[in-house]
A = this chain, B = another copy of it.
């Protein structure tokens, strides 16, 4: 390579973290978040009265797609072979909570994937009920996406390829969410 002997040249570096030599192990992360809505909107969702269709199924499909798209939405994320996505919704009087659990067998964690899924689920709920949430000026006095967080993160030991706790600690029992990862080094 022809090098230029210019003493002024500046080298600028950076990039996607090198994980080549990390072992592939089972991974699981669960994230959740909520969207605040008018009570009448939650009722309409419950009763299947929303004009644009089945709100929670559309949001679930969008969440699954968003999990798989994570390395495109978050540039520094590695492409990861996702092996499972579970999406759950809880309908409360004035809000809906979405919980997304993601599993993988790979070299890095999947919490960003779970967070992307939650965010997409909630934004799709919003999109489906826009006409019910707008006030007379076209704005949204109530609607807000809130409390998006990681509620659980685990990984298997090196050499194992199974995904720990993928069945016992389902995201259907979000109280289980505060259990800690079993390994402090679970870096992405």
Residues in chain A within 8 A of chain B (CB atoms):
1, 3-4, 6, 8-21, 26, 32-33, 46, 52-54, 56-58, 60-62, 64-66, 68-69, 71-79, 81-93, 101, 103-105, 107, 109, 111-112, 115-116, 119-120, 123-124, 126-128, 130-131, 134-140, 143-153, 155, 162-163, 166, 172, 174-175, 177-178, 180-188
List chain B residues, Cβ under 8 A from A162.
20-21
List chain B residues, Cβ under 8 A from A84.
15-20
Copies in the complex: 6
| A91 and B12 contact, CB distance less than 8 A | yes
Task: Among B8, B64, B105, B138, point to the contact of A109 (Cβ < 8 A).
Answer: B138
Complexed CA–CA distance, A84 and B152 (Å): 26
| A146 and B143 contact, CB distance less than 8 A | no
Interchain Cβ contacts under 8 Å between A and B, 26 examples: A1-B151, A6-B92, A9-B92, A11-B172, A13-B86, A13-B89, A18-B103, A18-B166, A20-B105, A33-B145, A54-B57, A61-B62, A64-B76, A65-B72, A65-B73, A74-B123, A78-B83, A83-B107, A115-B145, A127-B188, A135-B180, A137-B183, A138-B155, A139-B153, A144-B147, A144-B149
